[in-house]
């Protein structure tokens, strides 16, 4: 179990609204599976994860004037916690 699979918590307006329902969004390593990330979250935060949903965003080509570059892709996983549990890591 590698605790470096989870890079950080994604804090956006939408993700903070989801936190009220017990759903938290984590940015994870591209090669991480849902089960591996679930085990890491349960071990680190001492909570019970009921459901995981993963989203794999592909890299996109971006232009700035005449130069062309790519924005890197990423993977995020939405963790649904057991009813009544929460993580106290979001800013208020």
For residues 3 and 43, what is the distance between their CA atoms, to the nearest angstrom? 9
69-86 pLDDT tens trace = 999 999 999 999 999 998
Q: Is residue 90 very low, low, confident or very high in pLDDT (cuts 50, 70, 90)? A: low
Q: Decide: 53 and 33 in contact? Cβ < 8 Å.
A: no
pLDDT average, residue stretch 31-36: 92
Stretch (H or E) spanning 29? none
Residue ranges of domains in the chain, CATH in brackets: 3-60+72-81 (3.30.70.330)
**Whole-prediction pTM value?**
0.85
% the chain with pLDDT above 90 = 78
Residue whose C-alpha is closest to residue 73's, from 85, 62, 86: 62
């Amino acid at each position: 179990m590698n605790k470096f699979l989870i890079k950080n918590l994604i804090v956006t307006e939408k993700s903070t609204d989801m936190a009220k329902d017990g759903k938290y969004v984590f940015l994870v390593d591209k090669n991480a599976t849902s089960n591996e990330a679930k085990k890491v979250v349960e071990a680190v935060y001492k909570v019970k994860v009921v459901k995981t949903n993963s989203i794999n965003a592909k890299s996109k080509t971006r232009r700035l004037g005449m130069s062309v570059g790519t924005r890197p892709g990423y993977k995020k996983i939405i963790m649904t916690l057991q009813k009544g549990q929460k993580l106290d890591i979001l800013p208020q």
